[in-house]
Amino acid sequence: MTDSESLSRTDPMSPPEGPSPSAARRAPVPKRKKPGPYRVPPRAQRHGLLIVNTGDGKGKTTAALGLLLRAVGRSMRVGMFQFMKATGITEGGEYAALRRLGVEIVPLGAGCTLGVEETADDQTLAKSGWDHCAALLAAGEYDVLVLDELTLPLSYGWVDTAVVVDAIRARPVGTHVVVTGRRAPSALIDAADLVTDMRVIKHPFREQGVRAQAGIDV
C-alpha cells in the first residue's frame, strides 16, 4: 500500500483498499462494449422535450435543478426563470450554487403568495416575466430552459395557457423546456413529452411540523 492510499482512508469518498469484488468471481465477466463519451448532438438531432414536473409533493423544482446540473455538465446553455420568487431576492442555495456554475437564475415574481390575496402587481410581473422568457425561447438562447412555478400564473389566469403552449410548441428545434408547479393545466400536459406527478407520501411539515430548511427546501 502506498502512502497516498493509507492517507486516503480518512476520506470515505475514496476507493477502499482490499481485494476487489471481482476476485470473488470464478471467471471474468466479458466486458460489454464500453460506452463512448456522450456528446450532446447538434440541435437538429435532439428530441427537444417539454417536461412538466407537477403535483403536490416535494421534488418539482429540485428535479429541475438536478436536470440543470446535468445539462451544465454537458456544457449546454441553460437558464432558470422563477415565476413566484420575488424579483431582486436572490437568497437560497440554488442561487449561490448556480451562479458558481455560471448558470443564469432569475426571479421574476412578486414573492410568496401563499395565503395572500392577489393584486394587479402579480399579474403584471407574471405577464412581463413570461414575455421575457418567450423572447429568449424564440431566440434559441438556451438548450435547456426551466420555467419554475409557471403553472401558478397559468392556473390563476395571469398568463394565457394557450399562448404559452403555442410559444413552447413553436420553439426552436432541440430546445428542452421544463415547466414546474402544482396544478399544471391539461393543455400543457397534452403538449408535454414527459410529465411527472410528484405525490406526497410523507412530508416533514405535514406530519412533524418541520419547516423549510436551508439546503433542502431553499
Partner 1 sequence: MPKGTRVRRPRKRPYTIAPRDERHGLLIVHTGKGKGKTTAALGMLVRASGYDLSVGMFQFIKSAETLYGEHIAAKRLGIDIVPLGDGFTWLSENIAADRALAERGWARVQEALALGKHDVLILDELTYCLTFGWLDTAQVIATLGARAPGTHVIVTGRDAPAALIEAADLVTEMHVVKHPYREQGIGAQPGIEL
Q: Which of residues 50-109 bind partner 1 (CB under 8 A)?
A: 51-55, 57-59, 61-74, 76, 91-98, 100-101
The binder of partner 1 chosen from 3, 42, 169, 208 (CB under 8 A): 208
C-alpha cell at 165: 403552449
Question: What Å distances lie between residue 67 and 59, 70, 208, CA to CA?
Answer: 12, 5, 30
165-168, long-range: CB < 8 A, 24+ apart:
165/191, 167/134, 167/137, 167/138, 168/50, 168/137
Contact between 79 and 104 under an 8 Å Cβ cutoff? The reply is yes
Q: Does 192 bind partner 1 (CB under 8 A)?
A: yes
Which window, 31-39, 129-137, 162-170, contacts partner 1 (CB under 8 A)?
31-39
Closest to partner 1 by CB, 57 vs 136, is 57
Contact with partner 1 (CB under 8 A) among 1, 21, 42, 169: 21
Q: How near is the Cβ of 191 to partner 1 at its closest, in Å?
A: 10
Q: Taking CB under 8 A as the rule, does residue 150 contact partner 1?
A: no
Considering the complex, what minimum distance in angstroms separates the CB of residue 6 from partner 1?
Answer: 15
Instruction: Give CA torsion, residues 140, 141, 142, 143, to 10 deg.
Output: 50
* Residue 218 to residue 179: CA distance in whole angstroms: 18
CB of 101 to partner 1, least distance (A): 6
